[in-house]
Amino acid sequence: MRIVFLLTSLLFAACTVGEVGTSNNTGTDGGMGSGSGSNTAGCVDRITPAGEAHPHLAGGTSNAGLNCIVAGCHLNNNLGTNAPGYQFAGTLYKAGVTPLTPNAGATIQVVSGAMTLKAVTDKDGNFSFAAGALPGAFTATTNATACPTLTPMVTQLVGGNGGGAGANSCNLCHTTGAGAQAPPITM
């Protein structure tokens, strides 16, 4: 009897994997985990085909891997030509692949309190969240996902009302070479 109960419980628990999010997996929606103070969003299916790479007028590339929250680009109080302000932005790469290869169509989730923000990586692995997406001071957990994989960020994001160049630019910390605080974001 106990074995039947355990197997039935496992079956019902397995049925909820991957049901988080909206049909296009962008914007703000629910999907919060449960438990004592848990702020974990579930895995989200990969979007195929991935969206077109983020265009840049200067250079004509997507600038994958570069810090884009700087003056004259996507810094909210000093924007470039036709450039929206970003609160968070970065590049996701495939894990274990050399050279670094974009991880297209994956979802990046930022969870703060009862709010879950989602962005889908474009064909060059870039993602961004609009300036002001999380207003005021906050702490947030972050993960990258494409079911069945869900890779959490080891530390929390901490934000306030503003910040200077590079504030919340994932590629400022997650980079290669001198000054790198963490390796590039991979999943």
118-153 pLDDT per residue, tens: 999 999 999 999 888 888 788 899 999 999 999 999
Point out the residues of the chain with pLDDT beneath 50: 1-39, 164-165
Yes or no: say if 119 and 87 are a contact pair by the CB < 8 Å rule.
no
| Residue among 143, 144, 109, 104 nearest 124 (CA) | 104
Query: What pLDDT is recorded for position 7?
Result: 35
Domain count, the chain: 1
- Decide if 160 is inside a domain: yes
- Decide if 76 is inside a domain: yes
Yes or no: say if 117 and 89 are a contact pair by the CB < 8 Å rule.
no
Query: What pLDDT is recorded for position 172?
Result: 81
Yes or no: say if 70 and 61 are a contact pair by the CB < 8 Å rule.
no
- Decide if 8 is inside a domain: no
- Decide if 12 is inside a domain: no
Query: What pLDDT is recorded for position 12?
Result: 33
- pTM of the predicted model as reported, rounded to 2 decimal places: 0.73
Alpha helix ranges (H) inside the chain = 2-14, 170-173
Yes or no: say if 67 and 56 are a contact pair by the CB < 8 Å rule.
no
- Structural domain boundaries, residue 155: 18-186
| Residue among 82, 89, 171 nearest 133 (CA) | 89
* Sequence letter at residue 84: P
Query: What pLDDT is recorded for position 136?
Result: 79
- Decide if 59 is inside a domain: yes
- Decide if 4 is inside a domain: no
Which tokens go with 112? Answer: 């703060």
